A = this chain, B = another copy of it.
Amino acid sequence: MPFTFSPPPCLLPPKLLGARTPFLSPSSYSSASPTPPRMGQPARASKLMEFPHLVAPHRNTMVGLISAVENRLGAHLLPSAVPSDVEYYQNESGTSQGTLSIRCGIDSSPIDFILASWLHLEQATGAFEITNIACYLNSSTDVPHFQFELVQCSPTYFILFLDLIPRKDIVLHPDYLKTFYEDTQLESCRQRLDRLPEVQPYFSSSLYFRRVVSPTGILVSIKCDDGRAERIEEIIREHVNPIANEVAGIWMDMCIAGGREVSELERAELEKRDSLIKRKAIDMDLSSSMPKQFGEEVAGRVLRVIRNAYKI
Q: Which A positions have Cβ atoms within 8 angstroms of B?
A: 169-172, 174, 177, 181-182, 187, 194, 201, 203, 207-208, 210-212, 215-216, 272-273, 276-277, 280
| Complex-state Cα separation, A177 to B203, whole angstroms | 16
Shortest C-beta distance, A137 to chain B (Å), equals 16
- State the copy count for this chain: 2
Judging by beta carbons under 8 Å apart, are A211 and B276 in contact? no
Interface of chain A: mostly helix, strand, loop or mixed: helix
Considering only CB atoms, which chain B residue lies closest to A169 in the complex? B169
| Complex-state Cα separation, A297 to B208, whole angstroms | 45
Most chain B beta-carbon contacts within 10 A, residue among A181, A211, A273 = A211
Judging by beta carbons under 8 Å apart, are B273 and A172 in contact? yes
Report chain B residues within 8 Å CB of A272: 172
Report chain B residues within 8 Å CB of A207: 170, 177, 181-182, 187, 215-216
What are 27 A-B residue pairs whose CB atoms fall within 8 Å in the complex? A169-B169, A170-B207, A170-B208, A170-B211, A171-B208, A171-B211, A171-B212, A171-B273, A171-B277, A172-B272, A172-B273, A172-B276, A174-B208, A174-B276, A174-B280, A177-B207, A177-B208, A177-B211, A181-B207, A182-B207, A187-B207, A194-B203, A201-B201, A207-B216, A208-B215, A210-B215, A211-B215
| Complex-state Cα separation, A194 to B211, whole angstroms | 19
Report chain B residues within 8 Å CB of A273: 171-172
4 smallest beta-carbon distances between A and B, as pairs: A169-B169, A207-B215, A210-B215, A170-B211
| Complex-state Cα separation, A216 to B208, whole angstroms | 10
Report chain B residues within 8 Å CB of A170: 207-208, 211
Considering only CB atoms, which chain B residue lies closest to A201 in the complex? B201
Report chain B residues within 8 Å CB of A174: 208, 276, 280
| Complex-state Cα separation, A216 to B194, whole angstroms | 21
Shortest C-beta distance, A73 to chain B (Å), equals 26
Judging by beta carbons under 8 Å apart, are A172 and B171 in contact? no
| Complex-state Cα separation, A170 to B177, whole angstroms | 17
